[in-house]
Chain A
Amino acid sequence: MNVTYDWNEWFFLISSTAALLAFWPIRRYFPPVMVLLIWIYNLSLVSSIDYFLIATPFKLYYFGDNPTYELSGALFHFFMYPCASLVFLYIYDKFELYGKKTAWYILFWTVFAVFYEWICVINKALVYTGWKILYSIPVYPASAILLLLFFHFVKKKLKALSYHWTVQ
């Protein structure tokens, strides 16, 4: 481990705080159990995929200063992805972006996510050692579709447990 507290750590910290602040006003929109499920879904999925691609044999990229599991990277996993996903689901559900609107909505988030990934790369928060930003383009819509499927599945199961689903 050779970690120095420099700009990329600040970048992780600022990004995670910004994501948390974006989530904070909407934290009561979903029932706590839904928030918890979406949170751990993201946490386990992202850490699983990242570890698979960061560790042997692929070694396609790493977060931070070097290929170790840094606290700043864990912070990213813990706050950045779950908060961004909850904001994504909030807008989708609140404004009922169903049908064709979903496709446009996913396209918008894909563009935003790829742009944000590029920002991460230029800030040396994410270092490619084989990965290309082009590979990320199909990953984001696939992740968004999976997230929506998971969301609807959880919603259906919670309804069956007598959760009342009303949108203001």
Chain B
Amino acid sequence: MVLLFYLILNGIILLFFIKKKKNLHILEIIAYWMVGSYIGENFSALCYMNFKTLHIPEILTHELSHFLSRNTIYPLVMVLFVDYYLTSSTWFKKSILTVVFVAILTSIEWVNHFLGVLIHVNWQFWWSPAIWFGGLASLLGFMKIFRILLFRGGEYK
């Protein structure tokens, strides 16, 4: 049942992303997706394996649900953030957008908790938005560098 919920959620976000008119180059989408996935992966792995502040139950459907979360849902939301960020014209709009996406990512993380997929142990709630804010800021930093490299052209030497 939990896995079915994640499959549906995954499908909805994926469908929305495919249908949405995007402002990103295909290589940008791939790059930001992979960086987003790496951020989600490291957050989960460090907290689960080292700090023990996150717990993943030893149930295959839950583990697969978490796998979907960190490889599709989190990165897709992060790519969507970058896509909207690039079209936001003012710093005010960019700030509001960041707050909204931090809230979305935090909500997904806590939906994981309430469904028993990724359980928080001795967790201060403010850590969640702080982590996702850090994640989005890192992705924006990466985007700046990546766009410079991607659109400057070049050749093999």
- The residues of B that contact A31 with a CB separation of less than 8 Å are 149, 154-156
Instruction: Tell me if A41 counts as interface (CB < 8 A to partner B).
Output: yes
Most chain B CB neighbours (cut-off 10 Å) among A47, A57, A157, A166? A57
Known pairs A43-B34, A57-B60; A68 contacts B156 (CB<8 A): no
Interface size of B by Cβ–Cβ distance < 8 Å?
36
- The residues of A that contact B83 with a CB separation of less than 8 Å are none
- The residues of A that contact B156 with a CB separation of less than 8 Å are 29-31, 164-168
Q: How far is the CB of B41 from chain A (nearest CB, A)?
A: 5
Which listed segment binds A: B23-31, B95-103, B107-115? B23-31
Asked if residues B45 and A43 are in contact (CB atoms below 8 Å), the reply is: no
Instruction: Tell me if B7 counts as interface (CB < 8 A to partner A).
Output: no
Asked if residues A40 and B50 are in contact (CB atoms below 8 Å), the reply is: no
Most chain B CB neighbours (cut-off 10 Å) among A44, A48, A57, A157? A44
Known pairs A28-B157, A33-B154, A55-B48; A43 contacts B38 (CB<8 A): yes
Instruction: Tell me if B146 counts as interface (CB < 8 A to partner A).
Output: yes
Instruction: Tell me if B42 counts as interface (CB < 8 A to partner A).
Output: yes
Instruction: Tell me if A56 counts as interface (CB < 8 A to partner B).
Output: yes
Asked if residues A44 and B35 are in contact (CB atoms below 8 Å), the reply is: yes
Which listed segment binds A: B11-19, B51-59, B84-92, B126-134? B51-59
Q: How far is the CB of B56 from chain A (nearest CB, A)?
A: 5
- The residues of A that contact B48 with a CB separation of less than 8 Å are 55
Considering the chains assembled together, what is the distance between the CA atoms of A51 and B156 in angstroms? 35
Considering the chains assembled together, what is the distance between the CA atoms of A30 and B44 in angstroms? 33
Mark each residue of chain A from 51 to 69: 1 if its CB lies under 8 Å from any CB of chain B, else 0: 1101111000000000111
Asked if residues B63 and A68 are in contact (CB atoms below 8 Å), the reply is: no
Asked if residues B67 and A37 are in contact (CB atoms below 8 Å), the reply is: no
Asked if residues B38 and A163 are in contact (CB atoms below 8 Å), the reply is: no
Asked if residues A29 and B157 are in contact (CB atoms below 8 Å), the reply is: yes
- The residues of B that contact A47 with a CB separation of less than 8 Å are 38, 41-42, 45
**Would you mind naming 13 contact pairs between A and B with Cβ atoms under 8 Å apart?**
A30-B156, A32-B149, A33-B146, A33-B154, A36-B146, A45-B34, A47-B42, A55-B49, A57-B60, A157-B27, A161-B25, A163-B154, A164-B155
Chain A residues in contact with chain B, CB under 8 A? 1, 28-33, 36-37, 40-41, 43-45, 47-48, 51-52, 54-57, 67-69, 154, 157-158, 161-168
Please give 20 more A-B residue pairs, beta carbons under 8 A apart, in addition to A33-B27, A67-B49: A29-B156, A31-B154, A31-B156, A33-B149, A36-B145, A36-B146, A43-B34, A44-B41, A47-B38, A48-B41, A56-B57, A57-B60, A68-B49, A69-B42, A161-B25, A161-B151, A161-B153, A164-B156, A165-B156, A166-B156
5 A-B pairs with least C-beta separation: A164-B155, A44-B34, A31-B154, A33-B149, A69-B49
Chain B residues in contact with chain A, CB under 8 A? 25-27, 30-31, 34-35, 37-38, 41-42, 44-46, 48-50, 56-60, 63, 67, 70-71, 145-146, 149-151, 153-157
